[in-house]
Amino acid sequence: MKKFLALFLLIQLLFSGMLMAQISQAELSEINQNRLSLNSNGMLVLGGWAVTNIAVGSIGMTQTSGTTRYFHQMNAAWNTVNLAIAGFGYYGLRNQSPDIGLSETISEFHSFERILLFNAGLNVGYMATGAYLWERGLRKDQDRLIGYGQSMILQGGFLLVFDSSLYLLSRRHSSRLIDSLESIQFNGTALSVSFGF
């Protein structure tokens, strides 16, 4: 029994050392720094888009009339929300440390990528709602519905491209982490590690 216990402990030590060797803390910190940089840059892009739309929309709605006035009005209003999201997101990312553990890193990637996919679905909904408003405005001859609908299609389209691009870039960064864990498998009841010689 003592030999079995000693062998079991030896195997556990070997496996735990090999698991830790799959990715070093320095590599993990680099992956997290890249993740934080990508997300921060994404918030800067969103903030830049928002500020531009607020400025152009605010000027545009005072210089135009009809459908175009409502288009600019919705762009300015819509992007106040985008600016708030970008600001809070950027501020939150500035306070995060890249020195976190493996499970927390995986969780951060997973959560962020799920949010982006959910947002991509919402963006399609925004565009569909915009198309509905535009069509309804044409039928009822209402400039406000037409302008708001056109704006929602533009804003939803930008956000769809933005969220999809950020998702693909995040997946590229997370794939390095995932590749380092490919040799580890867990089927719910057993953990296995494969090694190439």
pLDDT tens digits, residue range 127-168? Answer: 999 999 999 999 999 999 999 999 999 999 999 999 999 999
Rounded to whole angstroms, the Cα distance separating 175 from 108 reads 13
Residue 195 lies in a domain: no
Q: How many separate domains does the chain show?
A: 1
The alpha-helical segments, DSSP class H, found in the chain are 2-21, 25-63, 66-94, 102-140, 143-180
Contact 53, 76 (CB under 8 A): yes
Q: Determine the pLDDT at residue 190.
A: 60
Question: Does the structure show a pLDDT above 70 at 42?
Answer: yes
Q: CB neighbours of 6 closer than 8 A, spacing ≥ 6? A: none
Mean pLDDT of 169-185: 75
Residue 191 lies in a domain: no
Paired with 192 in beta bridges are: 185
Residue 187 lies in a domain: no
Full domain range(s) for residue 84: 26-181
Residue 1 lies in a domain: no
Q: CB neighbours of 59 closer than 8 A, spacing ≥ 6? A: 72
